[in-house]
Structures are given as C-alpha cells and as structure tokens.
Amino acid sequence: MSDEKKIALVTGGAGFIGSFLCEALLQAGRKVICIDDFTTGNVRNIEGALRNPDFQFLRLNINEPFDLEGFPELLGFKIKFLGIDEIYHLATPTSIKNFNKLKHHTLLTNSVGVRNILDIAVKYKSKVLLASSSVVYGGRKEDIEFFAEDYQGIVDHLSPRACYDEGKRFAETMFSTYGAVYGLDVKIARIFRTYGPRMPLFDGHQIPDFILNALNGDDLIVNVPEDFKTSIIYVSDVVSGLMKLMSAEPGIGPVNFGSDQDLLLVDIAKMIIEKIGSTSQIKAGEEIPFLTDLGLPDISKAKEKLEWMPIVRLEDGLQKTIEYIRANKILLTGDTYEI
C-alpha cells in the first residue's frame, strides 16, 4: 500500500475560510495545492502555510482552463501518477463593497470556473466539494424560522446580486449534474455567515470593521436597520464541517453549516465594545447595498449525519478575532488586496 499522502486542491485558498482550511488539511496530513488570484484573498493569509513543504501555491484565475501537470512547481506532488484525491472549491469573490466592480468576475467564477474545476475532478476521479452559500435560500421569511436543506428557496435571478446568489444555485446544479453524468462523489456545503481572523477590513463585513473602530475609539457605524438580525459562526467550526462532509459517504446531499442562534447586529457591536473596553459609540450609517437579511440554518442534518455542530462560543470567537486585529492592525489597515 502506498505511503504517499493524499493530495487536496483548494481554490480560493488564500481567502478567509480557504486559508484556514489549507492549514487544517496540512495538519491532517494532506499535501495541499492552493489556488487563488488574490481578487479578495491575500498572501498574508498563507504565509505560515508557504513554509510547509507539503504546501504549494499557484496564482491563477480558475476562469481560464489550466493543466495542473504543466506547473513545474508541482512536479514533487507527482500528480500525473497520483492524481488529486480531494478538491475543495471555495473560489468566489465575496466583497460586499466591491460587488459592482466584481460582478462579471463573480458570474464567470460561478459558471466557467466551476466547470473548469469539475473537469479536473473528472480527469482525476477526485472527490469534490462546493462551498455554496445560504443565499441559495433567498432572504429571511416570516413564516420559516429555520432553512432546512430541502427548502428550495426563492431567489430573484435578475436582482443586482444574482451573479452571486443565482450563481451559487447554478454552481450547485453543475455539481449535481456532473455527479450524475460522470459518477463523481460531489459534496455541497451551504455556508452561513462566518466570522473570525483574516476577514478583510473595509469590505462591508461589519464585524472586523466594528472591532477596528472599537480598538481605535471611533464610532461603530451600523450600516443596517436597528432590528437587523443575523447568525454568525466561527471560521474553525466551518472548516471542521467541510472536512467532515468531504469524508462522508457519497450521496449525502447538501448540508448546512452555520449557527442557529439569532442575534441583533447591534448587540454584537455592543459585545465588541464591552470586550475591548472601548469608549466607542454605536451610530447608524447608510445601509450597505447587496447585504441580504438571511435566515437561520437548520443544522440537524449536519448533527445527525456528520456528528458536527458549532463548538466555539461567540464570546470566545470574538475574543480571538479581536486579538488578531489588535496584533495585525498596522498591516491590515494598509493595502489589503494588492501584493
């Protein structure tokens, strides 16, 4: 029996969730190929992984066809002979502030990019996982408290957000179809709002901006209505869920990963101020376009089928995020995207 380590490919691996996934896979004994084009990812997120001989980074755009066997830096991975065991497809722009600028890129990533990744999975008979999103369910519904995986959702396919929301639905269709046509073991993870270290600043993601402002003693600007509610899950819980899903038996279907605890965003802001001991005040600001009022996940399937549930308490997750931003404040407030 071969003693070669399994090889995992992670697209979007220099992003917020993707970089933590790369580290977890390395810790689990995988060799990891990380692909990112730095549209919203950052090389800082993978600085630690780059020192690991089992990690290789490729800067490329997945919307253009590529051949993994054509990269000299991957010769040591022996892909031609060993193939790719697992593919985690996380690459999709998630920048709220830059949503308009990235619309076309987002559209292609959720269609052409998905096709290119699935074709690689077909070539190597890889298990392949899609990091989908809770946006496939549409916005929060008054008559539905929790979204289960069998809820089909209501999404406006012509909305200004459709390149992402409907794009994720189409990506799920592509995964399902490739699974049926080519016999691939495909997995679909529907990820709800996630927070933690390495979230980009000044990008419309309120929590890291709240933390930075509280550290600086500035006002926390809440860019949503006062009664806006959300659920947030810590990044390490999502990563463990993705790895459990990849290891699950074929045919499990889509699985939700998120927190089923509903919170007022204003209350999260208050908690951040309290944890930091800041004198900051909470002020209302202009509402952010493209920010969706999302529902809560029904996570009973993940609990029953994967023995997974969120384990990081909000207080602890916020503290870790605060410590990261405090330690890296000077770097993070520089140019976030350009390398």
CATH of the domain at 53: 3.40.50.720
Kindly report the number of other CB atoms within 10 A of residue 260's CB atom: 17
pLDDT at 3: 66
- List the one residue out of 156, 296, 294, 145 whose CA is nearest residue 228: 294
Flag whether 337 is in a domain: no
164 is catalytic: yes
* Phi, psi values for residue 189, rounded to 5°: -105, 120
Flag whether 164 is in a domain: yes
Flag whether 97 is in a domain: yes
pLDDT at 2: 55
pLDDT at 301: 98
pLDDT at 337: 33
Flag whether 13 is in a domain: yes
Beta strand 55-59 pairing with 186-191: unpaired
pLDDT at 203: 81
- Catalytic site residue from 137, 164, 178, 195: 164
Domain that holds residue 158: 7-198+232-260+293-311
Low-confidence ranges of the chain (pLDDT < 50): 1, 335-339
Kindly report the number of other CB atoms within 10 A of residue 221's CB atom: 16
Flag whether 329 is in a domain: no
Q: What distance separates the 2 farthest-apart alpha carbons in the chain?
A: 62
| pTM (2 d.p.) | 0.94
In whole angstroms, give the CA distance from residue 335 to residue 299.
37
pLDDT at 13: 98
Flag whether 142 is in a domain: yes
Counting the structural domains of the chain, the total is 1
In whole angstroms, give the CA distance from residue 217 to residue 220.
9
Flag whether 274 is in a domain: no
